[in-house]
Chains A and B, each alone.
Chain A
Amino acid sequence: MSTAARTRVRLATTSLAGCFGCHMSFLDIDEHLFELVELVEFDRSPLTNIKHCSPCDIGLIEGGVCNAENVHVLREFRAQCKTLVAIGACAINGGLPAQRNHIPLEACLREVYQSRAGLGASGVPNDPELPLLLDKVRPIHEVVRVDYSIPGCPPSGEAIWKFLSDLIAGRTPRLSHPMLHFD
């Protein structure tokens, strides 16, 4: 392995209760991807299909926390990443999935699995393979410590690139208007 490769920053990404929109926006950095692969080594990420995170410099988390698996993944990222970044509205505030928060979970499950026409009386799935839902969808900072956040639904590719290039170069990331937006 060359010296350059060894000094590359290790980057992991994942999507929890999100729509992968932030990852799509990440891919929108277009030709900067070529610069990025010179600077970083990807660890666990939908881009690599690596299933578990090893020690990393940066972890990007898309999506909020809606079930037990999200908690496990998030804790793994927190344990392995020196810097953990919440990316997008769902990771920061719970976003769209958190709209279920004002309905009691049991009522929600009943509505979906028991009351809905055409479903029969199959009942709420109880396969141990399935992660259980949390009573409320949480932003990630309510479950682990988070170092930075990039707002937006999704943040633009430009904002993501600015943020990452700052972070990798050792500058405190700073998004100025109009890159900083919450919608």
Chain B
Amino acid sequence: MRSHEISSSQIADVVNRHHRLPDRLLQILIELQEPSGWLPPATLTALADALGVSRAHVEGVAGFYSFLHTEPVGRYRLLFSDNIIEHQLGSRELMAALCSKLWVEPHKPSEDGLVSVSTTSCIGMGDQGPAMLANGRPVLRLSHQRINQIAELVRQQVPVSEWPEAFFHVDNNIHRRDAMLQLDLAPGAALQAALALGRAEWMRQMQLSNLRGRGGAGFTTAVKWMACADAPGADKVVVCNADEGEPGTFKDRVLLTTLADAVFEGMTLAAWAVGARQGLLYLRGEYRYLRPTLEAVLARRRSAGLLGRQILGKAGFDFDIEIHLGAGAYVCGEETALLESLEGKRGTPRIRPPFPVTRGYLGRPTVVNNVETLAKTCLIALEGGAAFAATGTAQSTGTKLLSISGDCARPGIYEYPFGVAIERVLEDCGASDTQAVQVGGAAGIMLASYEFHRRIAFEDVPTAGAFMVFDSSRDLFEVARNFVAFFAHESCGFCTPCRVGTSLLLKAMNKLADGHGAKTDLADIEWIDRLLKNASHCGLGSAAPNPVMDTLLKFRPAYERRLRSLDFAPAFNLDDALAAARRASGRDDAAAHFSADHAPR
């Protein structure tokens, strides 16, 4: 039986390793949870004392992140990835099958504390799902056979580390390579080139490249770097945002797997440009399995003189990189929430301005860039800015990695020059009979077939990389409902429009799904959409209605066919609401029922 206690010496150990810094709270909590799977109240209290912060602060942080538990969980924590793509691959049936085999209820630990089965937001494995996290490790290509094996392994209490390796094998599924994925980087080559150019010329090459952020927003990287370089303060920071949480996106996972050197080299190139000494890579908790390899790459780069003091012999160029883990919070992909999380706090987005380039990590000037953006800077260092700008479109230079999943023959990673048409992508990935494509993830845009001539580019269809394909057998109302449930779950709860609005929207969608919908609900949905869009504190809330707005506009019949009434209908059956009183009073007369002819108006 596992102990429910974490000893005070264990706590002191971890806290000391993190130099007793309160801004390491999240990392400390993740480590402390490791042995028993949850954080007992006494641990939180002891931790608050050790760090000199309030108990409420510690609990507030522990309570914020999905992968931190303040109540006991099963020794085996099996979390099914809950994106719509996995639903369509049968994840819900598999989860029900696993629950019945293990005699557990979903979302509740078994009474013996052995196992809990639940769901989690997309884990970035859409091309090889259905997938789950087993004690944090991704298990892929789930089938009924694999589910039976898992049930048996859990019953036999075989540790997850001893499960068959094939369960955990992650494929890269790269189907189309262009400049980025063809890059065979000799570690240090790009850095050498940029150092040879000198700092000013390197920045000029970045400007020439017109590289724009690959995280979705498309801000010009050179402008960001210059603003940070010019910001007062000598202690600048470079942050790599590897919190790839947008449902349907997994290209950063592949970059970190196949081109980790390029990502770290990109961070170092950014540090060279802005004069930063500290680098942080924020790795989403779902990708934690990548950490040992990434740490090994960092160690190799340190010993090769590519990190640390006097990089490549350049006096005064000191820079090193540390990996921070996330713990299951989509909102932390928003750069200011990510900074809060790096500082060990709840991932509540900050009000901008000030922007991170002037006041970022711990108030210091900070560059926050996406994994793909940073990797791309290696190409610019090697080939020059003009060569980089020669591909793509005038406003969207270079290439883009797309994470393709859903109804197509060959899901996986495809790299295209910007400007590629949706129909070309669909053809290449073997999609036929396509009804709609969701580009940019849940927060992105849903395109109907009459828009497939449109192009992937910041000036037409911008994207962080998700490309989910739905053929004509799919119900797009259910797609939108899944995304709404995702946003309601991931809302950080800080602002009322988003916290309440996403829940109201989900309630309205569920009402329609349950067959109680009425025309007035569509009006309510549109009203909530506007409210979310206009009143939310950050991009999560304002993007949350996107899937509903798009599907209502382009696939309205998918909603209308669910309506029960053209005016108003309650979300529940009124006659059923009298059943308890009928039972208690023993009545069954006419007045004890609502007659059917008294239809609501």
- Please state if A106 and B589 are interface contacts (CB–CB under 8 Å): no
Cα distance, A109 to B586, chains bound together (Å): 13
B210 to chain A, nearest CB (A): 49
Set of chain B residues within 8 Å of A125, measured between Cβ atoms:
585
- Please state if B520 and A126 are interface contacts (CB–CB under 8 Å): no
By size class, the interface of chain B is 20 to 34
Chain B residues in contact with chain A, CB under 8 A? 520, 567-568, 570-572, 574, 576-587, 589, 591-592, 594, 598, 600-601
The residue on A at minimum CB distance from B589 is A128
A80 to chain B, nearest CB (A): 10
**Cross-chain pair count, CB within 8 angstroms:** 71
Set of chain A residues within 8 Å of B598, measured between Cβ atoms:
72, 75
B597 to chain A, nearest CB (A): 12
Q: Which of A72, A134, A145 is B520 in contact with, Cβ under 8 Å?
A: A145
Cα distance, A79 to B601, chains bound together (Å): 7
Set of chain B residues within 8 Å of A109, measured between Cβ atoms:
581, 584-585
- Please state if A144 and B584 are interface contacts (CB–CB under 8 Å): no
B232 to chain A, nearest CB (A): 41
Set of chain B residues within 8 Å of A110, measured between Cβ atoms:
584
- Please state if A143 and B600 are interface contacts (CB–CB under 8 Å): yes
- Please state if A68 and B580 are interface contacts (CB–CB under 8 Å): no
A35 to chain B, nearest CB (A): 32
Set of chain A residues within 8 Å of B572, measured between Cβ atoms:
142
- Please state if A134 and B585 are interface contacts (CB–CB under 8 Å): no
Cα distance, A128 to B572, chains bound together (Å): 24
- Please state if B574 and A126 are interface contacts (CB–CB under 8 Å): no
Does A46 reach chain B (CB closer than 8 Å)?
no
B516 to chain A, nearest CB (A): 10
A24 to chain B, nearest CB (A): 29
Set of chain A residues within 8 Å of B591, measured between Cβ atoms:
68, 128, 131-132
A sample of 5 inter-chain contacts (CB < 8 A) reads A79-B601, A106-B583, A124-B584, A128-B592, A135-B580
Chain A residues in contact with chain B, CB under 8 A? 68, 71-72, 75, 78-79, 104-106, 109-110, 124-126, 128, 131-136, 138, 142-145
Cα distance, A133 to B571, chains bound together (Å): 18
B570 to chain A, nearest CB (A): 5
Cα distance, A145 to B586, chains bound together (Å): 32
CB within 8 Å for A132 and B520 given contacts A142-B570, A143-B574, A144-B600? no
Q: A132-B587, A145-B601 are in contact. List 8 more A-B contacts (CB 8 A).
A: A105-B580, A106-B584, A109-B584, A125-B585, A128-B589, A131-B591, A134-B574, A143-B574
- Please state if A145 and B567 are interface contacts (CB–CB under 8 Å): yes
Cα distance, A71 to B575, chains bound together (Å): 11
Cα distance, A125 to B598, chains bound together (Å): 26
Set of chain A residues within 8 Å of B574, measured between Cβ atoms:
71, 134, 143
Cα distance, A124 to B582, chains bound together (Å): 10
A137 to chain B, nearest CB (A): 10
- Please state if A134 and B577 are interface contacts (CB–CB under 8 Å): yes
Set of chain A residues within 8 Å of B601, measured between Cβ atoms:
75, 78-79, 144-145
CB within 8 Å for A106 and B580 given contacts A132-B592, A144-B600? yes
- Please state if A68 and B578 are interface contacts (CB–CB under 8 Å): yes
- Please state if B581 and A135 are interface contacts (CB–CB under 8 Å): yes
- Please state if A132 and B570 are interface contacts (CB–CB under 8 Å): no
- Please state if A135 and B600 are interface contacts (CB–CB under 8 Å): no
- Please state if B571 and A142 are interface contacts (CB–CB under 8 Å): yes
- Please state if B592 and A75 are interface contacts (CB–CB under 8 Å): no
A37 to chain B, nearest CB (A): 29
- Please state if A128 and B587 are interface contacts (CB–CB under 8 Å): yes
Set of chain B residues within 8 Å of A138, measured between Cβ atoms:
570
B121 to chain A, nearest CB (A): 30
Cα distance, A81 to B589, chains bound together (Å): 30
B253 to chain A, nearest CB (A): 44
Set of chain A residues within 8 Å of B567, measured between Cβ atoms:
145
- Please state if B570 and A143 are interface contacts (CB–CB under 8 Å): yes
